[in-house]
C-alpha cells in the first residue's frame, strides 16, 4: 500500500500525529482511541507496509515511531501538482515590506536618510 492510500483513514492520520510527538507502543496508542487494540495493530501494519512507521522490539512489546521518508516523497509529489504554497506568500510579504519602506521614505522627504534595516526602539 502506498503512503497516500495509508493516510486516507482518519485513525491512521491520528496515529501518525501521535507518533510524530513521540514513539509509542500499541498499548499507549490504543489508549488514545475508542477502538480495540487489535484494530490499532491492524492500522499500524498498514502504516508499516506503506513505509510510514517502523517498529522496534523492546522487551515483550514493540515500539512504533514515525518514518517520514514516505511522507517526503508524497510531499514532493504534491509540490509537483500544487507548486510551493509558501513562495507566493513570501513574495507578497517581500512586496509589502518594500512598499512600506518606500512609503516611509516618501512620507518624510526632509528627514535625513537612515538605514531601513534597523528597528526604531525607545
- The top-level CATH class assigned to 3-67 is mainly alpha
Long-range contacts, 69-74 (Cβ 8 Å, 24+): 70/2, 70/3, 71/3, 73/3, 74/3, 74/4, 74/7
For 74, residues 6+ apart whose C-beta sits below 8 A from its C-beta are 3, 4, 7
Q: Flag whether the pTM goes above 0.75.
A: no
pLDDT digits (tens, 9 = 90+) for 35-48: 999 999 999 999 99
pLDDT for the residue 80: 82
Each domain of the chain, given as residue ranges in start order, spans 3-67, 71-107
At 91, the pLDDT band (50, 70, 90 cuts) reads confident
Amino acid at each position: 500500500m502506498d503512503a497516500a492510500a495509508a493516510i486516507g483513514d482518519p485513525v491512521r492520520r491520528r496515529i501518525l500525529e501521535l507518533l510524530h510527538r513521540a514513539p509509542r507502543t500499541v498499548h499507549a496508542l490504543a489508549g488514545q482511541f475508542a477502538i480495540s487494540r487489535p484494530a490499532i495493530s491492524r492500522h499500524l501494519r498498514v502504516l508499516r507496509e506503506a513505509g510510514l512507521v517502523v517498529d522496534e522490539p523492546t522487551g515483550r512489546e514493540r515500539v512504533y515511531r514515525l518514518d517520514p521518508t514516505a511522507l517526503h516523497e508524497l510531499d514532493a509529489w504534491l509540490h509537483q501538482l500544487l507548486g510551493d504554497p509558501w513562495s507566493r506568500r513570501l513574495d507578497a510579504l517581500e512586496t509589502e515590506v518594500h512598499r512600506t519602506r518606500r512609503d516611509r521614505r516618501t512620507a518624510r522627504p526632509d528627514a535625513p536618510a537612515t538605514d531601513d534595516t534597523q528597528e526604531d526602539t525607545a
